[in-house]
Structures are given as C-alpha cells and as structure tokens.
C-alpha cells in the first residue's frame, strides 16, 4: 500500500506543489468528472488526467498496470449492467437481452472510473503516508479518520507478510494435496488465524504507543507544521474543473 503512494519525486512539477493542494485538485477533478454527463466533457477531463499524469512522478508502465488493475475490478462489477437495463434492445442471448441503455451506463462508469483513478494516482504519487496524514490534517479532516487511514497504509503490508508466513507454513505441512472440501476448511483456519494474529498485534501496538506517551495525536516538530496555502496552479486546475462542470450543466439543460 505504501508503494502506491511513494515514488520518485524527481523530474516532476507536482512535487513542488503542497500535498494538501494536490489532494484538493484530485478531489475537485474527480467529483467534477463524476457529475458530468456529456462525452466532450469526458474528453476534457481525460486530457486533464493525462497532463497531471505527465507532470507527476508516476511512470507510464507502473501507471498502466495500476489502471488496468482498477479497471479489471470495475469491468467485473459492471458486467451485468447491459443485461439488467430495459430499453434499446440490441441483441437477445437466450433469456438475456443486451440493451443499449445498459451498455451506455457501463461505459459511463468505466470512463469515469478510469479518469478518476488516473487523477488520484498522479496526485498521490511520491507522497508518503506521513505526508498524506499531515496534508489531511491541514485540510481539517477529522483526526480519527486520519489515524485510521495512516494505520491502514502502514499495516496492510505487515498483515500481507503475516499471511505469507502462514501460507508458507501450510504448504510445508502439505496444504493443497487434500480434497477440495478439506482445502476450503484449511482456508477457514488460515483466515481465522490471521484475524487472531492481527488482533494480538493490534493490542501490542496499542500498548507500545501508550507506553510512549500517545495521547490521540502524533506530535509534530516545529518545522513540520504546514500551512493551508493553496498555490495559484492548484487553484487554476480547480477553477478549470468547475468551469467544465458549469458548461456541461448549461449545455445539457439547453
């Protein structure tokens, strides 16, 4: 999870922009993309996403892999849509009917998801979990929500390593050679043990934090306090997103 946020910050202009400003740009462009309805507006936001991608530290191959991973999940989610909507029948496949309305809805979701994921990943590229937490604090996000997000980013990788250890131990004991029913039972034991170990680790971490004087927040040194200044470049991206949404609504109403 940390790898999705961290990255090289060399040779990119977004690294010069404060993290909280980058988050505002990402949220503004993403929300504007979601509420838009016309194809030409999608094209404009796709162009904005590509520009932000070029300016970020996210490489082409790494970005394409991440987008493909997200889109594969989205495709599996929207796959039933063309067969569940009524109107504009295209073809009948036995009891199933492919509708034009469903196809349009599915493509709409896929396009919006792709643009939003590119924008979010490009703006979060090169940002560590600590920098993300500080930026959210500057944006007045509730402290408990910031802590939950920070711990998720930090300990998802730890839990993944714990799962790998348990799976290695199971393979050493002959896992996979039994019947399918027996294997599913072993999977239940695996996730049960992972849950128990995760809870035990959480208790140890909490006690360690209490012993170190934790009082609900992570104290920052004098040089770590960030200001809520938003540079003109970020304001320009946000204004552009608002203008495109306004034009979309005006032309749709016309």
**Torsion angle, alpha carbons of 39, 42, 43, 49, to 10:** -170
Largest CA distance in the chain: 69
Distant-in-sequence, close-in-space partners of 226: CB < 8 Å, separation ≥ 6: 18, 19, 20, 134, 135, 137, 138
pLDDT tens for each residue of 51-99: 998 888 888 888 888 899 999 999 999 888 888 877 667 777 667 778 8
Q: How many CB atoms lie within 10 A of CB 71?
A: 14
Does residue 44 register a pLDDT over 90? Answer: yes
pTM exceeding the 0.75 threshold for the entire prediction = no
Q: How many CB atoms lie within 10 A of CB 196?
A: 10
Q: 224 with 15: CB under 8 angstroms?
A: no
pLDDT the model gives residue 62: 84
- Tell me the CA distances in angstroms from 169 to 162, 186, 193, 254, one per residue in order: 11, 12, 12, 65
pLDDT tens for each residue of 201-239: 888 888 888 888 877 666 654 444 556 778 888 899 999
pLDDT the model gives residue 220: 57
Q: From CA 29, how far away is CA 111, in angstroms rounded?
A: 14
Q: From CA 26, how far away is CA 15, in angstroms rounded?
A: 14
Q: Give the pLDDT mean for 37-47.
A: 92
Distant-in-sequence, close-in-space partners of 25: CB < 8 Å, separation ≥ 6: 52, 119, 123, 234, 237, 238
Positive or negative: CA dihedral 8, 143, 231, 48 = positive
Residue 222, both tokens: 């004098």
Q: What angle do CA 6, 231, 224 make, to 5 degrees?
A: 55
Q: Which helix (H) or strand (E) holds 62?
A: helix 60-78
């Amino acid at each position: 999870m940390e790898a999705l946020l961290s990255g090289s910050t060399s040779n990119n202009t977004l690294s010069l922009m404060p993290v909280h400003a980058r988050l505002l740009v990402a949220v503004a462009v993403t929300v504007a993309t979601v509420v838009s309805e016309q194809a030409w507006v999608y094209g404009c936001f796709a162009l904005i996403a590509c520009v932000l991608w070029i300016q970020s530290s996210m490489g082409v191959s790494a970005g394409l892999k991440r987008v493909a991973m997200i889109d594969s999940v989205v495709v599996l989610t929207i796959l039933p849509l063309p067969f569940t909507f009524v109107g504009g029948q295209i073809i009948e496949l036995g009891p199933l009917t492919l509708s034009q309305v469903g196809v349009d809805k599915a493509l709409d979701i896929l396009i919006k998801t792709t643009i939003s994921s590119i924008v979010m990943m490009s703006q979060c590229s090169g940002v560590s979990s600590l920098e993300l937490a500080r930026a959210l604090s500057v944006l007045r996000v509730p402290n408990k929500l910031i802590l939950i997000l920070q711990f998720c980013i930090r300990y998802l990788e730890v839990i993944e390593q714990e799962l790998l250890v348990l799976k290695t131990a199971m393979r050493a004991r002959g896992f996979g050679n039994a019947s399918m029913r027996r294997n599913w039972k072993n999977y239940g034991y695996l996730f049960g043990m992972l849950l128990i170990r995760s809870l035990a680790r959480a208790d140890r971490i909490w006690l360690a934090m209490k012993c170190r004087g934790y009082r609900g927040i992570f104290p920052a040194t004098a040089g770590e306090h960030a200001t809520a200044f938003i540079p003109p470049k970020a304001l320009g991206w946000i204004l552009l997103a608002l203008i495109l949404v306004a034009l979309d609504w005006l032309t749709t109403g016309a």
